[in-house]
A and B are shown apart, each in its own frame.
Chain A
Amino acid sequence: MSAREVALPRGRKVQIAEAGDGPAAVYLHGIADIHGASFGWLPFHEALAERLALIAPAHPGCAASSEDEALETVDDLVFHYLELFDALGLETLRLAGSCIGGWIAAEIAVRHPERIERLALVGPTGLFVPRAPIADVFWETHPADGVSFAALRGLLFGDAGSETARAMFPDLRGDIDQEVLRYQLFRFASRIGFNPPYLHSRRLAERLGRYRAPALVVQGADDRLGPRRHGEVYAEGFADARLEIVDGAGHSAFAERPGAVAALVADFLAGP
C-alpha cells in the first residue's frame, strides 16, 4: 500500500491509500474499515486491488485527512469529493463505498451520474425508510459498565464475538492511536449523521432514479445497523441495480466475509 496526501482548496489535505492496477476505483470507507478502525488495508481491499487500481481517501477529519470545521451536511461532503476527483484528474470513475461511505457514494452518484461509471455499495446507510430506522451506533460507542463494547460490535458485525470484531473494537481501552482513529471517525460521522437521527438524508430515496448506470448493492444477511429494507430500497430506486445478500455477515460484510464480498464487488466494478 502506498499513502499520500492530496491538497484541496481552503488548505484541506486528504490522506489517500492506493494499491493495485486496472480501472480506477475510488473506495469510500465506513466505520469498521480502513481509516475508521484500521490504519491499513483489510483483506477485502487487498482482494479488490488484485483487479482494480484502488484509491481509498480518508474522510475529512479521519486518519491524517484534515478536519473541516465548515462541514455540516452531506452536501458539503459531495462537493469535497468532487474537488478530490478533480484534483486526482478523474473525470469519470468507478465508485464504491461501505456503510457511511456507501451513503456518500450514493449522494455523489445521484448528483453527478455522468461521472460515475459503476457504483457498488456495501451495507450503505443514507436512506430514510419509515418505521425502519438505522440503529443508533453513536449510543453504542459508550461502553456498557465502562468497559464492554459488545453492543457496538453487535450493531457492526453479524457475530459480535468474532475475532475480526474484537480486533477492531476491543473491550476496555485499546491502543491510544487506534482509539483516536475511531474517535475521529465518530466525530466525522456525527457531523453529517447525528441529525436527523441517524446517518441519512431524508430525500435521498426519491432521487435514486437519477443514477442510470449499473449499480450493485451488497448487504449482510444479519445487518443490525441498517434494516434489510434499506438495501431493497436502494436496489429498487436505482435504474439498473441488483441486490446481493451475503449470508454469515452483518453490517460490515466486507470485513466479515472479505472473499465473497470482494469477489462480488471486483467482478462488478471491473466490468465494461
Chain B
Amino acid sequence: MHPVQLFHWHFMAYPYLPDDFDERFDTGWVTVPNRLWDRERTDGLYQEYIDQLAEAAGLGFDGLVLNEHHQNIYGLMPSPNIIASALTQRTERAKLVVLGNLLPLHLNPLRVAEEYAMIDSISGGRLIAGFAVGGGPEAYNYNIPSPQSRQRFWEAVDLILRTWTEDGPFEHEGPSYPLRYVNIWPKPRQTPHPKVWIPGSLSAETMDHVARRGFDYFLSSRTHGAATRQARERFADILERHGDAYHPFRMGVLLSVYVAETDEQAKEEAEEGVWYFLKYCLKGHLRRTGRTLTFGPGVPSQSVRSWRAFLENSTPGAPMLGDADDWEELESKASIVVGSPATVREKLWALIEQAEVGNLLIQFHFGNMEDSLARKSARLFAEQVAPDLRARSAELFARKYPALADRPAASAAE
C-alpha cells in the first residue's frame, strides 16, 4: 500500500519580537535589525524546536522538513544541514528532508554534495535532498545576481548529482564551477542517490527541468485544492512529454495546520501564533504592507517572457497571505487549516482527493506559538487525523495509480 506521506515541517521562527514590531519595522527580512535578538530568552530555543521535530518522528510522521533562510525572523536556519545533522542523532526512521540548500548562495556546490552525503551516511540513508534557487530576499542577503542564478543553479544541481553517481576523480568544465578534481568522500549512503526534491511556484520552466531529470516537484505556495490540482495537472503533462508518468509521490505541497480538540478551541489556541506568523514573519515576504522583496523588477530572476505572463495574469497590489485582516478572510483563503481533528481531516482529504498529491509537508508551529500547543497539535494530528488520511489515500492512490503496486512501500509509519 502507498498511503499519503506526512511530513512535519519546522521553520524555526524567531518568537520574541516586541508587540509594536509592525509599527516600528517595515520588514521581517534582510534588514530587520538583529539587535532584536534576545540572547537570554533564546537560550534553549533551538533545543525546543529540535525537540518538537524529534517528538514528531516518534509520533510516526514519515519525515521532518527543514529549509534555509538568511537574515530574517521567519526561519532561523541559515544552515539547515546543521539541524538535520542534529536530528540524525534524535531520530531513527524518519526521512530528513532539507528543502533545500540554496545553491546560488554557496560558493562551491561540492560543499553541498559533501554535506548532504555526510547527512545521508550518518542517518543511514534517510536524506531527501532539496535544492532551491532562493527567493528574492536571499538575493539581497548574499548579493546574488538573479538573471544568472537559475543557470548556475542547474549547473550546480547537475554537478552534485554527478558527484553522487559517477566515480571520481573527474573533471567538471563549468562554466560557473570549473573543477579539475571532483572526487567527494563520502558518497551518499543511498544508491543511486538520495531522492531529489525541487521547489517551485507553478512555473512551467522549473517543472520542465525537474521532469527532464526525473526529480520530484514540490509546490511551495500554500495553496488550496484547486491550485494544487492545477499544478499537478501541469506537472503531469510535462512528465508525459518527457516519457514519464505522474503518480502522487512525484509531488509535494506545503500546508499549514493547527489541530485542537474542537474548532473553537483550535481557533483560540492558534490565533496568536498565526497572526504573529502572518503579520510579522511574512512582513517583507508575502505581505503588501511594508516592502516585499520576494519578487519584482529588483530581483529579475524570471525570464522576460515569464514576467510578461505574470503581469498579464495578476492584479497589481493584490492581497497576499499576510494581508488577511480577520479570521474569516483567512479561512476563506484556505491557506491555513485550523480546526478539530474532524475538520482538518475533511479539509485535507478534500485536498488529497482533488489534487492527488502524495507528499504533504505540514507546518505545525506558527511564529511565536507556545511549545506545548505546537506539540499538542502535532500529536492530535498524528493520532486522530493521519490514520484516516493514510487509509483513504492508500485506497484512492491504488485505484487511480495501479502502477504504484510495483513500487516498494516507503512509509516510515508502516
Within 8 A of A (CB), among B178-197: none
List the A residue with the shortest CB-CB distance to B311.
A176
Considering the complex, which residues of chain A in the window 231-264 have a beta carbon less than 8 Å from any beta carbon of chain B? none
Number of interface residues of B (CB under 8 A): 30
Determine if B296 and A142 form an interchain contact, defined as CB atoms under 8 angstroms apart: yes
A195 interface residue (CB < 8 Å to B): yes
Stretch at the interface among B54-62, B254-262, B298-306, B398-406: B298-306
A128 → chain B closest CB, angstroms: 14
In the docked arrangement, what's the CA distance between A122 and B147, Å?
27
Could you tell me the distance between the alpha carbons of A137 and B147 in the complex, rounded to whole angstroms?
16
Task: Write out the residue numbers on chain A whose beta carbons fall within 8 Å of the beta carbon of B146.
Answer: 187, 190, 194
The reply to whether B143 and A143 contact each other, CB–CB distance below 8 Å, is no
Q: Which of the 9-residue segments A13-21, A79-87, A97-105, A177-185 touches chain B?
A: A177-185
Q: Given contacts A180-B304, A180-B307, is CB(A138)–CB(B299) below 8 Å?
A: yes
Task: Give the docked Cα–Cα distance between A172 and B297 (Å).
Answer: 14
Contact B290 A187 (CB under 8 A): no
The answer to whether B297 and A183 touch across the interface, beta carbons within 8 angstroms, is: yes
Give B163 Cβ to nearest chain A Cβ, in Å. Answer: 24
Decide if A186 touches B317 in the complex (CB within 8 Å).
Answer: no
Give B150 Cβ to nearest chain A Cβ, in Å: 10
B117–chain A nearest beta-carbon distance, Å: 29
**B387 interfacial contact with A, CB 8 Å:** no
Residues of A contacting B: mostly? loop
Q: Cβ of A139 and Cβ of B317 under 8 Å apart?
A: no
Contact partners of B304 in chain A: CB under 8 A = 61, 67, 180, 183-184, 187
Q: CA A142 – CA B293 in complex, angstroms?
A: 6
Chain B CB within 8 A of A164 CB: no
B33 within 8 A of A: no
Stretch of A4-12, A144-152, A221-229 with 4 or more beta carbons under 8 angstroms from chain B: A144-152
Q: Chain A nearest CB: distance from B387 CB in Å?
A: 43
Chain A: minimal CB distance from B320 (Å): 8
Within 8 A of B (CB), among A184-225: 184, 186-187, 190-191, 194-197
**Which residues of chain A come closer than 8 Å to B289, judged between CB atoms?**
145
Question: CA A140 – CA B296 in complex, angstroms?
Answer: 10
- CA gap between A172 and B316 in the complex, in Å: 6
Tell whether A141 pairs with B298 under 8 Å between CB atoms, given A72-B148, A146-B288: yes
In chain A between 59 and 116, which residues have their CB closer than 8 angstroms to a CB of chain B? 61, 67, 69, 72
- Provide the residues of chain B in CB contact with A140, threshold 8 Å: 298
List residues of chain A with CB within 8 A of the CB of B151.
69
A183 touches B300 (CB 8 A): yes
Task: Name the B residues within 8 Å of A182 (CB-CB).
Answer: 297
* Size bracket, chain A contacts: 20 to 34
Task: Evaluate whether A183 and B147 lie within 8 angstroms (CB atoms) in the complex, with A139-B298, A142-B298, A147-B317 already known.
Answer: no
Task: Say whether B215 faces chain A, with CB atoms less than 8 Å apart.
Answer: no
Among B212-256, those with CB < 8 Å from A are: none
Complex partner residue of B145 from A67, A183, A190, CB under 8 angstroms = A190
Q: Please state if B316 and A194 are interface contacts (CB–CB under 8 Å).
A: no
- CA A79 to CA B299, docked complex, whole Å: 26
Instruction: Determine which of A67, A69, A139, A173 lies in contact with B140 in the assembled complex, contact meaning CB atoms within 8 Å.
Output: A139
B144 at the interface (CB under 8 A from A): yes
Q: Which residues of B contact A145 (CB under 8 A)?
A: 288-291, 317
What CA separation (Å) do A147 and B145 show in the bound complex? Answer: 24
B308 in the interface, Cβ–Cβ < 8 Å? yes
B311 & A191 in contact (Cβ 8 Å cutoff): no
Distance A99 CA – B242 CA, assembled complex (angstroms): 46
Judge whether A147 and B316 touch: CB under 8 Å.
yes
Choice from B139, B147, B307, B312 contacting A191 with Cβ under 8 Å: B147
In the complex, which of the residues A138, A139, A140, A173 has the most CB atoms of chain B within 10 Å of its own CB atom?
A138
Name, among B136, B296, B297, B311, the residue most crowded by chain A CB atoms within 10 Å (CB to CB): B297
Return B214 CB to nearest CB of chain A, in Å.
25
| B311 touching A186, Cβ below 8 Å | no
On chain A, the residues within 8 Å of B148 by CB distance are: 72, 191
A199 to chain B, nearest CB (A): 12
Nearest A residue to B319, CB-CB: A146
In the complex, chain B residues 300-343 whose Cβ is within 8 Å of any chain A Cβ: 300, 304, 307-308, 311-312, 316-318
Residue B81 is within 8 A (CB to CB) of chain A in the complex: no
Contacts of B368 in A (CB 8 A): none
A195 lies within 8 A of B145 (CB): yes
Q: Told that A146-B316, A194-B144 touch, could you supply 20 new A-B pairs with CB distance under 8 A?
A: A72-B148, A137-B298, A139-B140, A139-B293, A139-B298, A141-B297, A142-B297, A143-B296, A144-B290, A145-B288, A183-B304, A186-B297, A186-B300, A187-B146, A187-B297, A190-B147, A190-B298, A194-B143, A195-B143, A195-B144
Q: A residues bordering B, Cβ < 8 Å?
A: 61, 67, 69, 72, 137-147, 172-173, 176, 179-180, 182-184, 186-187, 190-191, 194-197
Can you report 17 residue pairs joining A to B where beta carbons are below 8 Å apart?
A67-B304, A138-B140, A142-B136, A142-B293, A142-B297, A145-B290, A146-B288, A146-B292, A146-B317, A173-B311, A183-B307, A186-B298, A186-B300, A187-B300, A190-B299, A190-B300, A194-B145
Q: Nearest 5 CB-CB pairs, A to B?
A: A146-B288, A173-B316, A187-B300, A141-B298, A138-B298
